[in-house]
Amino acid sequence: MDNPTGTINSLYQYENIEDNILNKLKKLRQHYPERFPLSIHVLATVHDTIDGEWQQRLRQAMEQRNRVSIFLIPYQMSNFNWIVVIIKFKTDGQVERAEFIDPLRESNLDIDKLQIQFGEIYPGIILQPRSIRKQEDREKSIELTIETLLKLAEEYQTTNINDLHDKTIGDQNASDRLNKEKGSFPILTANGGDRKISPLNIHELFRLIKKVNSTVYTIKKKDIIFFLGLTGSGKSTTIHFLAGSKMIEIEVRGLYHIAPVEINNPDLKYITTSPFVKSETRYITSVEVKLKNTNGLTKESIILCDSPGFEDTSGPEVDIANGLGIVNVIKVCTSVKPVVVISYKSIRDQIEAFSYIFTKFPEKEKDTIHAFIKEIHRKLKDDETSDKSFMFLLEDILQKTRQGARVLDPINDKHETILDELIKSIAIDHPENVFQFSITGKSKTTLQEQLTKHQLNIRSATERSEYELVKYRLDQLKCLNDLLGQHDIEQVYNDCLRHINRYLSEEYERGISAMKRCLMSQTSLNDEDIRQYQICIDHAKLAKEVQENHLGIEVISSTAFIEDLNRQVDLMLLDVREKDVDDISIRMSLEKIKTILNAFPDLDSKKLDNICQVLLEKLDSLVVSFKKSISSNKFDEAASHITKLYRAIDVLQDHLDREEIKAKYVQLKEYFLHHVNDCLGKL
């Protein structure tokens, strides 16, 4: 038989997990003080059931941070499921690293909720899960958590990691430069002031879209009921009610709220509710309801889909992901029944969101809904009546509420009855042909602002030749365009490509023109000329990934610089070949060619050897011509030949063997003297 006293003691022990951590940490520091030079703070346990306690601990860490410091925060969820969060601060007070340890295989941790609340205190920082061996046993999982935590705390002492898990830009120098410039924006953004720097958090947008895509697989070729409405209208509460959760009215921070207390459907763990006008749903979530459990007789099951609210309070990322998600989800369904949920408060504020299900209405107001809508219809302004889609919806609601509106009471109503009515209602077949992507005007403005920021940022990075950053931003634009298919995104993306292409082409023209002037002029080629040309080549190499992934083959590549240099060298060699060996310009040309070949190993070094061989042959030809002229007593020609050979000694001495040329010159003099002596001997 189990020992109840031992169980209670065990639970009590882990209820005070921070004391356990402190004691073990103290022992480690006593034995190995050199391993723990940094200050480590263990904060009181966060209880998931206590509203605001998690944020309170995060603020406490922010207030107590001092230089480089580490904070450990135990976090207890229901059923004695524990995690521990570890945060390291840098010298400047910024978060360097943040992770959490969750060792339980069947954990009930809501990671999104944890991250969202973490992001409210530390905007732009991702709280990363630490890879750990998962446990089935809760007590062993807590022991493993503490063991891993202490090892991690020691690891944090010796590492200095700016961005270990979310390094989105390979070139950290480019990232640092980006964050220093007021006209640029950080990798991850938050609300408030950072919204001015980066209006749209693209990382968060992609994360939410990924979440939506995971929902797509669960509803493919299914019949769904899709709940739409403003934030706070009661969509999540309605889904809990229809899925069979027991609902009661509770008070939360002074506000009355209908909340689920008995949740039998495991899919509902991702459907959270609150009394506040703040979205609890950040992405589309599906809940499968087995109708045999709800006394329904028409189908085996039905899929209920929750969605973030229209004009969602969580920002444009949620709105855009929601707009895209609705279309993506609906496209894969067999049929869809859209249900717009409207609350008592929102009917007075937003007439655009009228629905066939009304929530949160007082009992005495239920019978006045039709009359209230009719009065709104009568008082519409001209610009409102000109919206045909809106008028069609409003008149349809008037028609269908004539005999009474469907008002939802999650506490007293029978969910089976309402669910069966929804199932039997007319569905939209082939919804992929009906629904189109749409976002609010505010989100469109935010998206446009971010596109402008990206465009300016890409241009600025291009002019600094920070092409890894350029590629990073282009990747984002391309992904946005592929996901959203908006003309504005495609236009900005293509404009950026044209700008980069034009900039690279202009840099190419400037580079080869400058080198051509240096090679063809009578001035020397110096190290700075070489360095500038090499910079152009390096820039083109840095742009290689941008070219391969975005620009295509038309853009200038680094090989184009080498090819042009090859052509210039060939022209110079041709010029040298056509000149006399005593031409003073040959010396400078050969010196430039030698410098070029040494500086750029991709060029063919044999070209210099070949032209030197040609010059040697020209010298040998002079020797032959000199002898012929002497033999023919053409002494003027002979004088010209030997003079060229003499001058060639100085012109070619740095490229040919000077002593060998002098030997040829001496040979000609001796030949001439021998010829003169022969002539004198015959007199």
Virtual torsion, Cα 590, 593, 598, 604, nearest 10 deg: -120
pLDDT (tens digit per residue) in 341-379: 766 554 433 333 233 577 767 777 878 888 888 888 888
Cα–Cα distance list, 516 to 98, 351, 533, 547, 564 (Å): 55, 71, 11, 26, 9
Q: Look at residue 552 in the predicted model and tell me its pLDDT.
A: 77
CA proximity to 268, closest of 240, 241, 291, 247? 240
Q: Which of 81-90, 201-210, 640-649 has the lowest mean pLDDT?
A: 201-210
Measure the CA–CA gap between 265 and 245, rounded to whole angstroms.
8
Q: 569 - beta bridge partners?
A: none
Query: pLDDT at residue 175 above 60?
Result: no
pLDDT (tens digit per residue) in 568-581: 888 988 988 888 88
- % of the chain with per-residue pLDDT over 90: 3
**Residue whose pair of structure tokens reads 């992770």 in the numeric block:** 99
Characterize the bridge pairing of strands 82-89 and 95-101: antiparallel
- Give the E-state strand segments of 113-265 in sequence order: 128-129, 223-229, 246-252, 255-262
Longest CA–CA separation in the chain, Å: 149
Residue 683: which pLDDT band, with cuts at 50, 70 and 90? low
Measure the CA–CA gap between 237 and 242, rounded to whole angstroms.
9
Query: Do 544 and 555 touch, CB atoms closer than 8 A?
Result: no
Residue 76 CB contacts under 8 Å (≥ 6 apart), including other chains: 15, 17, 45, 46, 47, 48, 82
Element at 282 (helix H, strand E)? none
Measure the CA–CA gap between 337 and 304, rounded to whole angstroms.
10
Query: pLDDT at residue 186 above 80?
Result: no
pLDDT (tens digit per residue) in 668-681: 888 888 888 887 77
CATH 3.40.395 for domain 4-165, yes or no, is yes
Query: Do 164 and 127 touch, CB atoms closer than 8 A?
Result: no
**Residue length of the chain:** 683
Mean per-residue pLDDT for 5-26?
A: 57
Q: 76 - beta bridge partners?
A: 47, 82
Check: pTM over 0.85? Answer yes or no: no
Q: Look at residue 1 in the predicted model and tell me its pLDDT.
A: 40
In eight-state DSSP terms, residue 122 is S
CATH 3.40.50 for domain 216-436, yes or no, is yes
Q: How many CB atoms lie within 10 A of CB 33?
A: 9
User: Please, where are the H alpha helices in 548-657?
Assistant: 558-578, 584-599, 606-631, 635-652
Q: Look at residue 495 in the predicted model and tell me its pLDDT.
A: 92
Mean per-residue pLDDT for 23-51?
A: 78
Q: How many CB atoms lie within 10 A of CB 482?
A: 10
Give 545's Cβ-side CA count (13 Å radius).
13
DSSP assignments along 393-432, one per residue:
HHHHHHHHTTT--EEE-TTTS-HHHHHHHHHHS--EESGG
Q: Which of 108-112, 272-276, 304-308 has the lowest mean pLDDT?
A: 272-276
User: Which sequence spans correspond to the domains of the chain?
Assistant: 4-165, 216-436, 444-556, 571-681
Query: Do 103 and 144 touch, CB atoms closer than 8 A?
Result: yes
Mean per-residue pLDDT for 565-592?
A: 88
Collect contacts of 183-188 with beta carbons under 8 A, ≥24 apart: 183/456, 183/457, 183/460, 184/457, 184/460, 185/453, 185/457, 186/124, 187/124, 188/123, 188/124, 188/125, 188/126
Residue 430: which pLDDT band, with cuts at 50, 70 and 90? low
Query: Do 108 and 172 touch, CB atoms closer than 8 A?
Result: no
Residue 155 CB contacts under 8 Å (≥ 6 apart), including other chains: none
Q: Look at residue 416 in the predicted model and tell me its pLDDT.
A: 76
Please state the φ and ψ torsions of residue 93, each to the nearest 5 degrees. Answer: 90, -5
Same fold, 4-165 and 216-436: no
Query: pLDDT at residue 388 above 80?
Result: no
Mean pLDDT, all residues of the chain = 76
Query: Do 226 and 337 touch, CB atoms closer than 8 A?
Result: yes
Structure token digits, residue 447: 């998206």
Characterize the bridge pairing of strands 46-47 and 82-89: unpaired
Q: What is the CA radius of gyration of the chain?
A: 40
3-state secondary structure string across 466-509: CHHHHHHHHHHHHHHHHHHCCHHHHHHHHHHHHHHHHHHHHHHH
Q: Which of 155-164, 290-299, 431-440, 505-514 has the lowest mean pLDDT?
A: 155-164
Q: Which of 165-174, 652-661, 669-678 has the lowest mean pLDDT?
A: 165-174
Q: Look at residue 58 in the predicted model and tell me its pLDDT.
A: 92
Query: Do 505 and 556 touch, CB atoms closer than 8 A?
Result: yes
Most confident range (mean pLDDT) of 6-15, 36-45, 298-307, 588-597 is: 588-597
Cα–Cα distance list, 452 to 200, 367, 446, 473, 492 (Å): 11, 51, 10, 12, 8
Mean per-residue pLDDT for 421-449?
A: 70
Q: Which of 276-285, 500-509, 517-526 has the lowest mean pLDDT?
A: 276-285
In eight-state DSSP terms, residue 256 is E
Q: Look at residue 338 in the predicted model and tell me its pLDDT.
A: 76
